[in-house]
Structure 1
């Protein structure tokens, strides 16, 4: 299985993470997903009146230097880690 296929598989698995997953971890996954699928941030930062959109943008901007492949690998690793934490909770 190639990296892209594994990434897509874990993107589906990420949707099954428990609701107890922290917003911080969700934002990390969001940023890595956007970097892996789109690349560097291509929009301006949302304003103060949109705190959730602003947090998502910041999470994406935080991983801007990663290649798409590196972001895919990090995303897979993070989903695996969160699955293990949920299983042992």
Structure 2
């Protein structure tokens, strides 16, 4: 299975966890997913001051700046596997 196929499977599996992961885990998954699919965060798309949820997501993504697509995919797969092992799938 290619890295892209593993990444796609992990992204699908995460949607079927038995329970919702912690906010920190969700932010980590979000940031790694965005870095793997879009690349570095664009400062022009930074959320407004009152969008607290958007700001948290953007900040998490911005921390991944410079991470290659492949490295982000590998980290996402590892994070998904650890969540699946601890929470389980439906």
Structure 2-normalised TM-score? 0.89
Q: Which runs of 4+ in 1 moved over 6 A?
A: none
Structure 1-normalised TM-score? 0.90
Total equivalences in the alignment: 87
Compute the RMSD of aligned alpha carbons.
Answer: 1.2
Matches within 5 A, 1:12-27: 12-27=12-27
| Aligned-pair CA distance for 1:64 | 1.1
Rounded to whole Å, the distance in 2 between the matches of 1:20 and 1:2 is 28
Unaligned runs of 5+ in 2: none
Unaligned runs of 5+ in 1: none
Instruction: List per-residue Cα deviations over 1:30-87 (Å, max 9, x = no partner).
Output: 0000000011112432122100111110111011121000000000000000111114
